[in-house]
Structure formats: C-alpha cells, structure tokens
Structure 1
Amino acid sequence: MKESFRNPDAILDIGDRPKLLPWFGLSLQHLFTMFGATVLVPRLVGIDPGIALVSSGIGTIVYLFITKGKIPAYLGSSFAFIAAMQMLMKGEGQGYPAIAQGAITTGLVYLVVSLIVKKIGSAWLDKVLPAIVVGPVVMVIGLGLAANAANSAMFNAAGEYDFRYVFVALATLALTIFFNMWFKGFLGLIPILLGIVSGYIIALITGIVDTSIIAQASWFSMPQFQIPFVQYTPSLQIGAIVTMAPIAFVTMTEHIGHLMVLNKLTKRNFFEDPGLSKTLAGDGAAQIVAGLLGGPPTTSYGENIGVLAITRVHSVFVIAGAAVFAVALGFVGKMSALILSIPNPVISGISFVLFGVIAASGLKILIENKIDLDKKKNLLIASVILVVGIGGLVLEVGTFTLSAMALATVLGIFLNLILPETSRSEES
C-alpha cells in the first residue's frame, strides 16, 4: 500500500512503479553506476567478483524487505574492510572462511546495535547530529572521493598522465550534463546511463578500452561461492572477528550519513519511519548474506544516491530492478566483462557529477537551516569536518582503521557537544 505523502519534487516517488521499458533503463543506470566499485573491492582482495555481484543484489533485496520498501538505497561492496580482508586473505589458514566469518560478525554487530536503538529510540540523533554537523558531513561524503575521481581521469594503468583519459572524462561529463539539461521524457530520466554509453563509445574510438576481456569471457559463469558446510567446514576465527568487528562502527557512520542525504532528497525522516533500528538491521542482514555466500561486507552507495538526486527518480522498484540485474550478471560472464571493460575516465566523468550533487546537498542543508558561520562554534565545526574529511586524514591503531569520513564525523560530533554556544570574545 502506498504511503499518503508524496514528494512533489520527485518524478517517480519511493512507492511509484515505472512502466516496463523505463523500469529496465532506470535500473540498468543504477547497475552501471555501482558496478565498478562493487567488483573493484573483490578484485583488490582476491575474491571472485561474481560473488560480490550476487551478494550485493540479494543483500539489497533483503535490505528493501526489512525496511518495508521505504528507503531507495543500493548496497554494494564496502571499501572500509579492504585492508582487513587483504590481511585475512594472505594469512595462513585463513582466506575465504576468515573473511566470511568477519563479514557475518560485522552484520551481527549491526543487528545488536539495531536492537539497542529500538530500545532507546533515535531522538538523541537531533542532539548528536544537528545541521551544522550534518551539512559538512554530507559534503565530505560527496567530496571525499573527489581526488580519486580526478586521478582516475588523468592517469593510466602505468601511473602516467594521459591526455586521452582527460579528454574522455571531460567528454563524458559534458554529455551527461547535456543529457540531463536538454533531454526530456524517458531519455531525460537516464542521463547517467546515456553518459556512460556515450563515454564508452568515445573511449573505444580513442583506444583506451580493453575489449580482450569481453572476448575471453564465457556467456555463463558460475561464481565461486564459498558457502559454509558446502565448500568448507567453518571453524572459529578469533583473528577475523577482532579485526573486522570494530570496523562495523566506522561503516555505521557512513550508514547514518547516507540516510541524512536520503532524508533531504526524499523529504522524509527515515530515522523515524521505518526507523534507524530497521535500517541498521537491514544493512546487518545484508552483510550476513554476503558472508554466507563468501562475498565482502556491503554498505549503501553514495554513487547511487547521486543518481537519485540527478534523475529525481526515487522508486524502490528501480533499486530492486538493479539488484535483480546484479544477481543475474553474476552468472553472465560476457555482460560482466562488458561492464568491467568500462575504463576509469568514463566512470570519473560520471563521478564528477554524482559526487558534486551530494556535496551540493550538504551545502543546501546549511543554507536551509540558516546556519550562521560568523558564529565561531559553527565555523570551527564546519572547518574541521571539511578539512579532515576531504583531506583524507586516517586514524590507524594497530589493525583498526578509522576512515577520513568517519573520523571527520566523530570530530564534528565531539566538537558540537563540548564547545560552548558562544566564545568569550563573542560574549564581550
């Protein structure tokens, strides 16, 4: 049953189901957007990318089910666990089983925290995360990967500056902007997909696409699932648990940050309905599914939130369609190879728009809440969050790593709680 509220700014709101042809194109757009990052994580770790695709698709469907189909979020492979997974993959007697147990553990941590939130409520969020913290954090979510996007648009696999890469990235960006501004109807709803396709064609012409992987791929490819009691007999992996469990609290800050962005985009409060306990439970369950299949832990993707912002299509049916496509692609070697062959400059050209839209949403939060940056407290909080988050300051203690975005969020919350409303100079 559809909810009574409808976002007037949305072309397709959360509960709206698109017609079949637009549905296909819109879901494909989300698939292309998340594909590169989702398969990059397992490639860096040494896991079969097919497992990551299938687990991300199933995990997203599980998330949508637990959150009652109220939140249009896509869950893909999490980058926060890469270092820990690489270490576990190389460890003697560890490998897949250790990573799987770590992923299941992080999911259980989410479930435990969701039960605590359900018990005490989420009213504390308004005090812990006011607009002066939320706005800059959302900006960091958008701009935190800006340098990576720019580098991918400039440097080839050998690490050398390549003008062709820059040309393809800027051409992809220009065409995406053109499609977004001047196309209407169905084509106006898929500017990201059109930008990727156009950028790919330009990349083919400039000779930076490796088509050999498409030729070598088979049409049907069974992912190398690592299911406990089927592929291996699980044993307690204390090292994996100790290594990966604390990182769950880091990704929770990303989880909350993405929810804040979605709240603004959809004009809803997901912390209240379906509730933070439900969203955490959905994310945790998705991570457990990934662990049971042998895939990396999952998390919501900012890139897909950017697609929602640009297209104003917020339908959960579109997200579910992308999830189904991801599961199917896990078994279609040719199509996976085709998408895998999309060069970095094309993805970077798209990312310039997607990451920028998210950052602009953070700026909008500050403006709408009339945050006074002449006030020293506000100025200091915003300054620290932006520089720490965008600058990439990482806190490492042993095997525990706090990402720049998470550290920026923690510092922002801390400063907001301890700093007085007015400084002594402002009182005089």
Structure 2
Amino acid sequence: MSSHEITNQVENNKHSWLDILTGAQMLFVAFGALVLVPLLTGLNPNVALFTAGLGTILFQITTRGKVPVFLASSFAFIAPISYGVAQWGIPATLGGLMVAGFVFMLFGFLVKINGANVINRILPPVVTGPIIMVIGLSLAPVAIGMAMGTGEGIPANIPKYQLILVSMISLLTTLIVAIWAKGFLKLLPIISGIVVGYVLSCFLGLVNFQPVYDAPWFALPNFTFPEFKWQAVLYMIPIVIAPTIEHVGDIMAIGSVTGKDYTKEPGLQRTLFGDGLATSAAGLLGGPPCITYAEVIGAVTLTRNFKTRVMTWAAIWAIVMSFIGKVGAFLASIPSVVMGGIMVLLFGSIASVGINILVKHKVDLSVSRNMCITALVLVFGIGGMVFDFGSYALEGISLCGILAIVLNLILPRA
C-alpha cells in the first residue's frame, strides 16, 4: 500500500463534526447547477434536491462507499426534458427518464461482461462529439430568447434594454468568476451569476416576493409519479449516450485526484449502475436525472478531502433542504432573464465539450467517414430534421444519437 493510500485510509477513519459542515459546503458547490435544471424544465426544485440526495446515497451503496462523488441534475437532459414535457407532459417524460436509467444499468452490465473498453467501441469520439454539440447548440435559441426577456413572468412595463442588461450582467459575472476567481469561489460561477442578477432584478422591480412570504417553512416535496408512453420512452433512450461519456470522464477525473483507479475498484460497471439507479429513482419521484457532478470533483480537488462520508452528508443536507417550502418558492422567484444570461454560457459550454472530444481524440474530419457522420448529425440536429411515423416522430437528439451509431456501424473504415 502506497503512502498516498495510507493517508487516504487514515483520513477516512477519522470521525469529525467537520464532515457535516464540509458536506454542506459540497452541496453549496453543486447547488446552482443542481436547481438550474428543474427551473429550466418545469420540474420541482425541492424534488430535485431530494432526488439528488437520494441518488447520491444509492450510488454510495452501489459502489460500496468507495467513490467520493455527489450526484445531481444532468445538463444533458435539459433539452429532452423540455421537449418531452411539451409533447407528452411531465408524467410521461418522467417515465422516459426512468427507462433511461435502466439503459445506464445496461451499459454497466455490458462493461461487466466485455470490459470497460466496450463503451469506447460502441460510442467512439466521432459519435459522442457531434451529439454533445447538438445538445448544446439546439438550446441556443431558448437561451437567447430568455436572455432577451421573452420568458414567462416578466412584467410588461419593464423596458427591453433593462431585461437585456440583467441577463448580460448575470452572464458577465459568471464569466468573470469562472475565469478570474481564485480558490473556492472559482467553483461557484453559476451561483455568483444568479446572486448578482437577482440583486439587480430586485432593484429593477422584476422580483415578486409574495410567493416566498406565502410559502410554508416546512412542506413535503411535490413528488410527481411517472406514467409510461412508448413515444416518450423511445425518445429518451438515446439521450443516455452523452451522460454516459460524461460519467466515464468524471470517474477517471476523480480517480486521478485521489490516486485510485475507480474503473477497476469498485469498477466502472458499478459506477454506471449507480448512476442508472439514481436516475431511475429520480424519475420515479419527479426529479431530473442524477449523474456524477464535475463541480463537486473540482471541490474535492481543491480541498483534498477524499472522504466518501462527506458526500453522504451532502446528500443528507440536500434531503433536509428539500422539505423547506420557502427554498422552492425563493428559487421560483428568480427572473427568467437571470437564467437566460447564464444559459448562454452554459449551453455554449456543452457544445464546446463536444468539440473538445473531437479535438482531444484527434478525430480527422478530412476523412470522409468522419466528416459524413459529423456533418449529418449536426445538420439533422440543429436544422430540426423529423422522421414522422404517424404515431411517433423521431427527431432532435434521439434522431442524432441513432443516426450517429448506425453510421458508425455501417460506414467502412479506411
């Protein structure tokens, strides 16, 4: 056993009330991104807090408490959830998300049978890169619309220039913190942008505090239970491609920080199964899918705190907060222009991740095969191609996912 492992083991054996406070800190790091997804998709933020806590605990049980990560709302599902809610309603969308969790578990089963490299064989960079780009770029009109003040709940008497001012200052704050902030503050760009934008909105009269006053201090989260429509299920299944790749990257990243290879112990099959179990549990109760969180990995890197017990306390804090009714009411009072400004950067960054995958893995787009896969996925996804089969329409990210996988399988390699 190396000195690094001995140090980690000693740290994990310590019992300290500081773990409780550190767990609260970890939740604070993830909080902005955690609640952003339900606020943008129409799901309940208190339920999202509850399912993030529950999902983290389920993940820790599945992985035998060996991986110090926190699970919370996945950005990759923002567009699919929004589309699903508009097409089939929230219950049917939740049913699709539950099944998406089972696909995560299926990937875990495939890894157990064939080894960790099976993910790269099924989903090589030429498939995942363009799909992730489409996820980000397809949301661009939504982000710009909200940033310009076309969202719901905006007072009609507020001049347009003031709305754009709020969104751009929120965006600028997020950029400044993400690029120039130091230490712990650098982990909080989204919260920083929301706080500054919210304060400015208060001065401009964009915030209605009455629902916050009226909300009870204690209230059960407004759980919503799923129903199953095959159209919603088929739509959601291919969406799992992007978060699967993100999950593998997160597990490798936290392993490089702690000095352990989590793809071998507890094994990528267990971590994928844990993500799937958490996602299905979230869908069962009305929350967004829960996957491993890069923000918290950054916090672990900064604090050098490798205790999985800290993540368990973060999960407990999230569950406790979910029962505070005023938390959800306060989050709902955030003007859509504030969220719009942050979404401009957020959705652009998702697209950038897809570009980075192509660059990092040196995907040569001068090769006809790679160029065809990338070109068709981007144009179908961003252009809005629809294959209408009457009772079911294949479009958006689902269409792109299936198209990319099929092309990768049938097009000849050089």
| Same-fold status (TM-score > 0.5) | yes
Q: What is the CA–CA distance in structure 2 between the aligned matches of 1:365 and 1:267, rounded to whole Å? A: 20
**What secondary structure is seen at the aligned counterpart in 2 of 1:240?**
coil
Corresponding residue for residue 126 of structure 1:
120
Corresponding residue for residue 300 of structure 1:
291
Q: What is the CA–CA distance in structure 2 between the aligned matches of 1:65 and 1:396, rounded to whole Å? A: 42
Is 1:246–1:400's contact at 8 Å kept on the other side of the alignment? no
Aligned with residue 62 of structure 2, among 51, 61, 66:
66
Offset at 1:261? Answer: 5.3
Corresponding residue for residue 14 of structure 1:
none
Q: Give 1 or 2: higher helix fraction.
A: 2
Offset at 1:170? Answer: 0.9
Provide closer, same or farther for how the CA distance between residues 336 and 317 of structure 1 changes in structure 2, counting only shifts above 3 A: farther
Corresponding residue for residue 50 of structure 2:
54
Is 2:72–2:289's contact at 8 Å kept on the other side of the alignment? yes
Matches within 5 A, 1:16-415: 24-38=24-38, 41=41, 43=43, 50-67=46-63, 68-70=65-67, 72=69, 74-76=71-73, 80=80, 107=101, 111=105, 114-154=108-148, 155-157=150-152, 162-225=160-223, 240=228, 242=230, 245-247=233-235, 249-259=237-247, 262=250, 275-290=267-282, 294-296=285-287, 298-300=289-291, 305=294, 323-393=315-385, 395=387, 397=389, 402=394, 404-415=396-407
Q: What is the CA–CA distance in structure 2 between the aligned matches of 1:320 and 1:141, rounded to whole Å? A: 31
Q: What is the CA–CA distance in structure 2 between the aligned matches of 1:419 and 1:262, rounded to whole Å? A: 30
**What secondary structure is seen at the aligned counterpart in 1 of 2:183?**
coil
Offset at 1:286? Answer: 2.2
Alpha-carbon RMSD across the aligned residues, in angstroms, is: 4.3
Provide closer, same or farther for how the CA distance between residues 420 and 106 of structure 1 changes in structure 2, counting only shifts above 3 A: closer
Is 1:26–1:190's contact at 8 Å kept on the other side of the alignment? no
Q: What is the CA–CA distance in structure 1 between the aligned matches of 2:389 and 2:268, rounded to whole Å? A: 29
Query: What TM-score do you get using the length of structure 1 for normalisation?
Result: 0.72
Offset at 1:102? Answer: 7.2
Query: What TM-score do you get using the length of structure 2 for normalisation?
Result: 0.74
Corresponding residue for residue 233 of structure 1:
none
> Tell me, which stretches of 5 or more residues in structure 1 are unaligned?
6-16, 91-95, 228-236, 423-428
Provide closer, same or farther for how the CA distance between residues 357 and 321 of structure 1 changes in structure 2, counting only shifts above 3 A: farther
> Tell me, which stretches of 5 or more residues in structure 2 are unaligned?
6-15
Provide closer, same or farther for how the CA distance between residues 279 and 334 of structure 1 changes in structure 2, counting only shifts above 3 A: same
**What secondary structure is seen at the aligned counterpart in 2 of 1:207?**
coil
**What secondary structure is seen at the aligned counterpart in 2 of 1:300?**
strand
Q: What is the CA–CA distance in structure 2 between the aligned matches of 1:307 and 1:162, rounded to whole Å? A: 36
**What secondary structure is seen at the aligned counterpart in 2 of 1:75?**
strand
Q: What is the CA–CA distance in structure 2 between the aligned matches of 1:196 and 1:318, rounded to whole Å? A: 26
Q: Which moved more, 1:304-313 or 1:160-169?
A: 304-313
Offset at 1:197? Answer: 0.9
Offset at 1:417? Answer: 2.2
Is 2:20–2:313's contact at 8 Å kept on the other side of the alignment? no
Is 2:70–2:296's contact at 8 Å kept on the other side of the alignment? no
Offset at 1:108? Answer: 5.2
